[in-house]
Amino acid sequence: MSKHDSWIRINDPVFEQVIHVFENRGLIPVRDPFPMGILNNKPCLWIVDNLRLSDYHYDALVFAISRKGNQTEEETLKAIKKAGYIGIHMDSFESIEIGPEGFCRIVEFLLFDEQNSPNDAENSRNLAVFFQGQYDRWIDGDTKPDYQAAWKTLPDELKTEEVKAFYTNLMLNERLKTGEYSAFDVLRGKAMVDILNEIDPDNKYSLVGDDDDDDDDAEVWTAEDVELP
């Protein structure tokens, strides 16, 4: 079984013919939380995680990629064999969902990107070194993800709303798995309020009708504000 935990959602008319065969509302499992396949000297191919594909998932992707590339399925299979992976182009990508490993690796990419200037030869070399390091540690190696430690390494300026949303949903899902929170805690908003207060201590979040909260400036959450996993 694959150890990877990233999935992408496709927004492409060609893939609409086959997306219904995938579980979790059409999510496709990918090996990496960002494009690592190189096309025309640019990283713009999402690498599919074959270990999380069934035979009919594999056949569906070959069918869709063949239609998108105006080629036969035999030609697509030869290209996959030559490359060693199934690649989905960035222009078909809509969104991503990640687990602990995916979050850790996104943090590593954000830190790398902050320290390197785009569009120069040195950055291209550094990117190649970064990708090789990702392969050695996360794909060929057995690095254990610690998403909470990864969050702490991020400077405040890189903790964007999107990154905070990734981290919040990840904490919620992981704590549901361990039993720290129940489904009822999620439904009534308690779990989300606890997590928001933990990651954003400068603000105070509370539930509607919380008798312990006398702060009129506190941000109030209701169950409708919580996006269920």
Residues 22 and 93 in one domain: yes
Residues 24 and 46 in one domain: yes
HSE of 106 in the Cβ direction (CA atoms, 13 Å)? 24
Contacts of residue 146, defined as CB under 8 A and 6 or more positions apart, other chains included, come to 100, 104
Residues 166 and 124 in one domain: no
Residues 201 and 190 in one domain: yes
- The burial of 95, by beta-carbon neighbours within 10 Å (0-12 exposed, 13-18 middle, 19 or more buried), is given as exposed
Residue with tokens 């222009």: 91
Residues 93 and 128 in one domain: no
Q: Residue 11 is which amino acid? A: N
Residues 70 and 6 in one domain: yes
Q: Residue 179 is which amino acid? A: G
pLDDT computed for residue 51 by the predictor: 93
Residues 81 and 173 in one domain: no
pLDDT in tens, 160-198: 999 999 999 898 888 888 888 788 888 878 888 888 888
Q: How many domains does the chain have?
A: 3
For residue 226, pLDDT beyond 50: no
Residues 7 and 77 in one domain: yes
Residues 44 and 55 in one domain: yes
Beta bridge partners of residue 96, listed in sequence order:
8
Residues 123 and 57 in one domain: no
Tokens representing 112? 């790398």
Kind and range of the H or E run holding 31: none
Residues 178 and 214 in one domain: yes
pLDDT in tens, 115-147: 886 666 677 788 889 999 999 999 999 999 999
pLDDT computed for residue 221 by the predictor: 43
Q: Name the residue range of residue 201's domain.
A: 160-225
Neighbouring C-beta atoms of residue 37, cutoff 10 Å = 22
Taking the C-alpha atoms of residue 40 and residue 57, their distance in angstroms, rounded to an integer, is 27
